[in-house]
Amino acid sequence: MRPPSEALRFDAYSLDTVRCVLLRDEEMIELRPKAFDLLRYLVEHAGRLVSKDELIDAVWPGVPASDDSLVHCIKEIRAALCDGNHRIIKTVPRRGYLFAAPVGPSSIAVLPFVDLSGASENTEYLADGLAEELINTLTRIPGLKVASRSSSFRFRGKAHDIRQVGQDLKVSAIVEGSVRRAGGQLRVTAQLINVDDGYHVWSETYDRRMGDVLAIQEEISHAIADKLRLRPPDRSSRPAARRHTDDMEAYHLYLTGRFFWAKFNKEGIGKACACWECAIARDPTYALPYAGLADAYYRSYLFGNMSPRSAFERIETAARRALELDETLAEAHVSLANMKLHSDWDFPLVRRELDRALMLNATYAHAHHIYSHYWVARGNVEQSRADSLRALDIDPANLTFISHLGWHHYHAGDFVRAIEACERAVAMDPSFALARRYLGQAYAVNGMYKEATAEFERLMPDSPMIAKGYIGLVLAMSGHRQQAEATLADLVSESAGRYVSSYHLAAIALALGDIDGAFAWLDAAVNERAWPMAYLKLDPVLAEIRNDARFAQLLGRVGQSGK
């Protein structure tokens, strides 16, 4: 008998044993209580012939029930499962029923592999990369929800209880492992653990050469799929690691870039870009480093360390090259959509690219995240919230998504909830700059000026011009006129030698009461494609000028109507 689980997945269906409902693609399918109990018993005993007497005793304990009651429930279940050909539930004449579909847990997380190599081997990137690529491979198994890297990697280097990890990540199985490198040799150990009882379902050790990393990934994913009974035994239908390059040095450079990228700071972005450029130099047909570069250029733009036009040109070149090499890269479609949302305000193209990404990968949380941005730009806070929560449902511990929920509430005018969401992200990782930035914005419009200033000061190392812009805004909002004017003058002076967003100059001018000056700077911000211009319609900092005719003209320039 299978150990009970919160949710059991088979074929295109999920049996939620907590809420006692049958789901297909998150749509609830009606079943009477006894029919549900019967289906649950068959699923928990999948692969075994269950007699009619056993089923009646299990579903109608102590209550007289006829074969007709059993047959009626079976018919109801088959109708709900569209199982007219008895492919899922097989009838064995005069003996009973067999649940024939493969059954597995609905969700899994791959924790960061532990690097057991000596310090001289420098293989932490490989341990991370192996886990991340295994996540990507498992994602392609139909019927399996896989926690993202950002959620799973929160547990790096921490003592953890498997049940608590499963609860935090909302998964029913965990993969963990270790990597040890000695020269050109590699030892990888992996184990699959059932969250409900901590039982080790499977474990294996692989001793291979460094060049066999992809083969190890495939073998681990095959073993997991088999143990979870999510795939038939036909090896041709098993998940395979996608071999984007045959150059193993390029592959290791890509993994090293991902390692630095995950640090989410200015130094990490620079090192990631260097690795990906080297990977491309070794293999110009390798699509993944191009997709990585597109995201890195966007992050530099978001941090205010690259001018919009320079960033957009590089993002588009990298994203389109990635798609030329591999049109099925959902990541590159989202990168292109994200860039077009801010560069050209080309909303139809943005939707096409996001829809294509979700067609390629329906559980790609980042696509839903960018869709939430899109809906804020369009002024639809309800749709924004829905996509923000969908991203979090897929990836519940993602700091970017949690911070973004605060950003959503900020634009929806719910500053208390904005503060709550951002404070939650900061509590999870005090060094996470994006949460600090959004928290400072929410504090500022909520009149918490001291707290806002403290948050913005923390941004100075990685985003000095953005930090200074927001500090100037807080000074103006809190009545420190002379200091705000001095900050505004300093920013204007600095803009001669480096990129300073005209949006910040406009916001400070508006808070100082200079409405004409604010509109002049907003006009410049539209021309330079400053990041906040996409969200002009709902920006709370600009609320007092929304009824000005000049604001409607600005909205028209960024592809919006004034309605």
Q: Are 203 and 113 in contact (CB under 8 A)?
A: no
Among 94, 91, 62, residue whose Cα is nearest residue 77:
91
Structural domain range at position 191 = 105-243
Q: What CATH number does residue 549 fall under?
A: 1.25.40.10
Longest dimension (CA), the chain: 92
Q: Examine the domain organization and report whether 377 and 447 are in the same domain.
A: yes
CA distance 129 to 188: 13
**Cα distances (Å, whole numbers) of residue 297 to 206, 251, 374, 501, 524:** 37, 21, 19, 16, 22
CA 18 vs CA 24, 26, 83, 263: distances in Å: 16, 15, 24, 37
| Residue 520 and residue 473 in one domain | yes
DSSP annotation of 24: E
Burial code (b: 16+ CB inside 10 Å, e: under 16) for 352-361 equals ebbebbbebb
Please tell me whether residues 388 and 491 are part of one structural domain.
yes
Residue 25 is predicted with a pLDDT of 61
Could you read off the pLDDT of 524-545 as tens digits, one per residue? 999 999 999 999 999 999 999 9
Q: How many CB atoms lie within 10 A of CB 94?
A: 7
Question: At which of 101, 131, 146 does a domain end?
Answer: 101
Q: In this structure, are strands 7-10 and 13-16 parallel, antiparallel, or unpaired?
A: antiparallel
Task: Please give the Cα distance from 132 to 331 (Å, whole number).
Answer: 14
Q: Is residue 563 part of a domain?
A: no
183 and 253 together in one domain: no
308 and 173 share one domain: no
Count H helices and E strands in the chain, helices first.
Answer: 24, 14
Q: Name the token pair of 19.
A: 């809420």
Residue 173 and residue 297 share a domain: no
Q: Of 243, 263, 297, which one is at a domain's C-terminal end?
A: 243
Phi, psi (rounded to 5 degrees) for 201: -75, -35
Sign for the pseudo-dihedral over CA of 465, 466, 467, 469: positive
Is residue 2 situated within a structural domain? no
| CATH number of the domain residue 42 falls in | 1.10.10.10
The domain boundary, picked from 101, 128, 147, lies at 101
Cβ–Cβ under 8 Å, residues 485 and 288: no
- Interaxial angle between packed helices 266-282 and 287-302, expressed in degrees from 0 to 180 and rounded to the nearest 10: 160
Q: Say yes or no: 52 and 114 in one domain.
A: no
- The count of structural domains within the chain is 4
Residue type, 347: F
Both 208 and 281 in one domain: the answer is no
Pair (227, 345) in one structural domain: no
CA distance 306 to 56: 69
Contact 467, 457 (CB under 8 A): yes
What pTM did the predictor assign? 0.75
Structure tokens, 178? 């270790």
DSSP-derived 3-state class of residue 489: helix
Residues 388-413 as b/e (b if ≥16 CB within 10 A, e otherwise) read: bebbbebbbbbbbbbbbbbbbbbbbe
| Cβ–Cβ < 8 Å for 230, 248 | no
1 assigned to some structural domain: no
Residues 188, 269, single domain; the answer is no
The predicted-structure confidence for 410-435, as pLDDT tens digits, reads as follows 999 999 999 999 999 999 999 999 99
Q: Which two tokens stand for residue 408?
A: 């959503």
Low-confidence ranges of the chain (pLDDT < 50): 1-5, 231-240, 562-563
The reply to whether 562 falls in a domain is: no
69 assigned to some structural domain: yes
Q: Say yes or no: 429 and 498 in one domain.
A: yes
In a shared domain, residues 44 and 163? no
- B/e letters for 493-505, b = 16+ CB within 10 Å, e = fewer, are eebeeebbbbbbb
H helices of 48-140, where? Answer: 52-59, 67-80, 124-139
Considering the domain boundaries, does residue 492 fall inside one? Answer: yes
